[in-house]
Amino acid sequence: MFENVFGIHEQALLLHGQRIGVLATNLANADTPGYKARDIDFSAVLAHTDESETLPMLVTQGAHIAMNDAGSPSAELKYRNPYQASLDGNTVEMPVEQAAFSETNVRYQASLAFINSDIADLKYAIAGQ
């Protein structure tokens, strides 16, 4: 009865964490010539993430290790379309990345708050007071 206590937020938390990592990579390479900014299409991944079912990790090469890590959503990285490409081939646009970064930050904390309130509910139910 406790396998799906946190609903979608368990996977949303993981996905937001991954997206923050990707956006931080974009920020770090803001001055690297030829670097292409990438992002996770969050809603597309989450649309495939049913509450009862988790996405399998792709095994495309023999050397890959098949993962049975339940609750770990798999996300495909997509290249960002820049509003205005720069001459050195870099597609990182600082304001876009910073906005996405702070948005993901807030969403991560929102998921965390929902999980925390679920935990508080459970504690209340267990202790009865």
* Contact pick of 5, 44, 77, 85 for another protein (by CB under 8 A): 77
Convert residues 16-55 into a mask of x (bound to another protein by CB under 8 A) and - (unbound): -xxxxxxxxx-xxxxxxxxx--x-----------------
Least Å distance, CB 112 to another protein, is 6
Which is nearest to 76 in space by CA: 7, 20, 15? 15
- In the complex with another protein, the residue whose CB is nearer, 42 or 75, is 75
| Positions 80 through 99 that interact with another protein (CB under 8 A) | 94, 98
SS3 content of the chain, % helix, strand, coil (to 5): 45, 5, 50
Check residue 8 for interaction with another protein (CB under 8 A).
no
Terminal Cα distance for the chain, rounded: 21
Q: Which residues contact 29 (CB under 8 A, 6 or more apart)?
A: 35, 37, 90, 92
CA distance 89 to 79: 13
**Contact pattern for another protein over residues 96 through 125, marking x by CB under 8 A:** --x--xx--x--xx--x--xx--xx--x--
Cα 93 from Cα 85, distance rounded (Å):
9
User: What is the token pair recorded at 66?
Assistant: 């098949």
Q: Which residues bind another protein (CB under 8 A)?
A: 13, 17-25, 27-35, 38, 57-58, 60-61, 64, 74-77, 94, 98, 101-102, 105, 108-109, 112, 115-116, 119-120, 123
